[in-house]
Chains A and B, each alone.
Chain A
């Protein structure tokens, strides 16, 4: 990136400054570009950090075994490197979390945007934003020590949830994501022009019809972006699943009442122990990390597109 590029934003000032460019101004610009390049360096750093050990990993383990294998046992004597158990656990937790977070988050957003009076909204919106900042280790703690004992006590049948299980991790994660989905969906619903609502009322729509058939469809790209962001957070969330989700990974666990390791839980667990640098186990952390990075990268791309669409329409 060159520092002497012309720029459109300064059209107003450039004619005046052309004759007397000061050293301060050009020094400043170099500094600004350098700062902006830090984020580029971060991405390059992430890719380098992931790629090199991942190549090492795939020299010893075939890609086919990694993608199709149904057992992940790097710490066992009989090692197997099939990533499906980790992916399955991640999907299960994400599914449970969304089942809880999407209806509750959307309902909260509709209530705040369409029904709550301005004063209530003014009080509630900051509280929701505040709650979005609760650290995830806290959700892990309450999932394991408060929610799961309750679930075990109330479970109707004998073979109830295990001490750590995917269901409780998903529930806690769902509660964690609600403020995010509610806040972003509410923003996009608030951005729907008032004229659309008034047009619908003029056609004798009821408030429910306006909310569900005018406001929600009009805000759909923002809502989808919120949900995709929720998925992305659920897939990448580490502390809740490490604390409350369990560790099993030698087979695909489909029963959410059992514990199983997600991709992130595996990374956190194995790297909190002592593993020799350069070993296959060490490299497997990076291979799983690379897969996780690719998945969230795809999700982010969808979310960014959606947000852009919703901005283009109403701003």
Chain B
């Protein structure tokens, strides 16, 4: 899932410049091109909208309180009274931990890179390249990192904390890149004014720069967390594919999570499972899309334009 980049500059409005000229000479080729471009947009997003609606219809019968009050089951006969409570609670556990682990590290890294690092030094440039590259490493590779290093070498096993660390590292570049963009958008004049009043570097960063960058940081953080909620691949490698019928009760507890639970349902052939999977998907989509909406709203509404 990509991170929408945060653009604060005002963009030129190309539709305004050509209109007067092109209006009189709408040749057939011109019209066809315009319609073709419009069709691309409509097809791509129409299909996506139709598919999401289909999921909603498919899962409609399962969209009631059973979803969050009942546990998943591997027995088809008990499926009518089944839900995804353990997966929902597991997801909440994991995501709270990811927020605690990933956000401080990501924001501090971004402050270092933007405010402290001398980017003419080779190690700082390497650091930057490294983060850009990490942003493009497939999520399943992070699962392998978790399996080989965190679960086995560090001995944390297949637990909530392992999942949270792996997902934190996975979305760390998203937080860093978004925070850097937000910090970079704060004008130099504010820093200079703060220094002129006798503030130290850290006073300037913590009392002037960061408060101004909060909307951008918040947006990036929410998008990162919502991506972590939807990730299934690394958790599959971490052996989370089983029917877990208890809620996690600690960092070293076994767990399941919504996307994993959905995958487990999908691998079962019975149609009752398909319905329950659709219901769980609607729940997952509701959480993820709500978070993304808040993030985009925060960015568009609160971001300062200097």
Tell me the A residues contacting B by CB distance below 8 Å. 1, 5-10, 12-13, 16-17, 22, 24-25, 28-29, 31-36, 38-40, 42-43, 45-46, 48-50, 52-53, 103-108, 110-118, 124, 126-138, 140-142, 144-147, 175, 178-180, 182-184, 187, 190-191, 193-194, 197-198, 201, 206-208, 210-212, 215, 229, 232-233, 235-239, 242-243, 264, 267-268, 271-272, 277, 285-286, 289, 292-293, 296-297, 299-301, 303-304
For the residues of B in contact with A, the DSSP-based class is: helix
Q: What are the residues of chain B within 8 A of A187 when measuring CB–CB?
A: 5, 7
How long is the Cα–Cα vector from A128 to B48 in the complex, in angstroms?
11
A104-B40, A201-B18 given; A39·B131 CB < 8 A: yes
Q: Mark B224-263, 1 if CB is under 8 A from A, else 0.
A: 0011011111001101010000000000000000010011
B75: interface (CB < 8 Å)? no
A142-B54, A208-B30, A289-B141 given; A107·B239 CB < 8 A: no
B97: interface (CB < 8 Å)? no
CB-defined A-B contacts under 8 Å, sample of 6: A115-B38, A138-B55, A146-B51, A182-B41, A232-B136, A233-B2
Tell me the B residues contacting A by CB distance below 8 Å. 1-2, 4-5, 7, 11-18, 21-22, 25, 27, 29-30, 33-34, 36-41, 43-45, 47-48, 51-52, 54-55, 58, 104-106, 108-109, 111-113, 115-118, 120-121, 123, 127, 129-145, 147-149, 152, 169, 172-173, 176, 191-192, 195, 198-202, 204, 223, 226-227, 229-233, 236-237, 239, 241, 259, 262-263, 266-267, 274, 277-278, 281, 284-285, 288-289, 292-293, 296, 300
User: When the two chains form their complex, are residues B44 and A178 in contact, meaning their CB atoms are under 8 A apart?
Assistant: yes
User: When the two chains form their complex, are residues A17 and B201 in contact, meaning their CB atoms are under 8 A apart?
Assistant: yes
How long is the Cα–Cα vector from A299 to B123 in the complex, in angstroms?
22
User: When the two chains form their complex, are residues B130 and A145 in contact, meaning their CB atoms are under 8 A apart?
Assistant: no
Q: What are the residues of chain A within 8 A of B259 when measuring CB–CB?
A: 135, 137, 239
A32-B109, A187-B5, A207-B22 given; A130·B278 CB < 8 A: no
For the residues of A in contact with B, the DSSP-based class is: helix
User: When the two chains form their complex, are residues B21 and A201 in contact, meaning their CB atoms are under 8 A apart?
Assistant: yes
User: When the two chains form their complex, are residues A136 and B37 in contact, meaning their CB atoms are under 8 A apart?
Assistant: no
| Additional A-B contact list (7), CB under 8 Å, known A104-B43, A130-B289, A238-B233 | A35-B104, A38-B109, A111-B41, A115-B15, A140-B266, A194-B17, A296-B141
User: When the two chains form their complex, are residues B198 and A16 in contact, meaning their CB atoms are under 8 A apart?
Assistant: yes
Q: What are the residues of chain B within 8 A of A264 when measuring CB–CB?
A: 138, 140, 233
User: When the two chains form their complex, are residues A107 and B41 in contact, meaning their CB atoms are under 8 A apart?
Assistant: yes
Query: Which residue of chain A lies nearest to B104 when distances are taken between CB atoms in the complex?
Result: A35
How long is the Cα–Cα vector from A116 to B18 in the complex, in angstroms?
12
Q: What are the residues of chain A within 8 A of B135 when measuring CB–CB?
A: 300
Task: Tell me the total A-B contact number using a CB cutoff of 8 A.
Answer: 348
How long is the Cα–Cα vector from A286 to B237 in the complex, in angstroms?
11
Report the minimum CB–CB distance from A192 to chain B (whole Å): 8
How long is the Cα–Cα vector from A242 to B1 in the complex, in angstroms?
17
Report the minimum CB–CB distance from B138 to chain A (whole Å): 3
Query: Which residue of chain B lies nearest to A285 when distances are taken between CB atoms in the complex?
Result: B144
Report the minimum CB–CB distance from A265 to chain B (whole Å): 10
Which single member of A118, A134, A233 contacts B285 (CB below 8 Å)?
A134
Q: What are the residues of chain B within 8 A of A29 when measuring CB–CB?
A: 112, 116
User: When the two chains form their complex, are residues A13 and B133 in contact, meaning their CB atoms are under 8 A apart?
Assistant: no
Query: Which residue of chain B lies nearest to A33 when distances are taken between CB atoms in the complex?
Result: B112
How long is the Cα–Cα vector from A236 to B33 in the complex, in angstroms?
34
Q: What are the residues of chain B within 8 A of A197 when measuring CB–CB?
A: 12, 14, 17-18
Q: What are the residues of chain B within 8 A of A22 when measuring CB–CB?
A: 200, 202
Query: Which residue of chain A lies nearest to B135 when distances are taken between CB atoms in the complex?
Result: A300
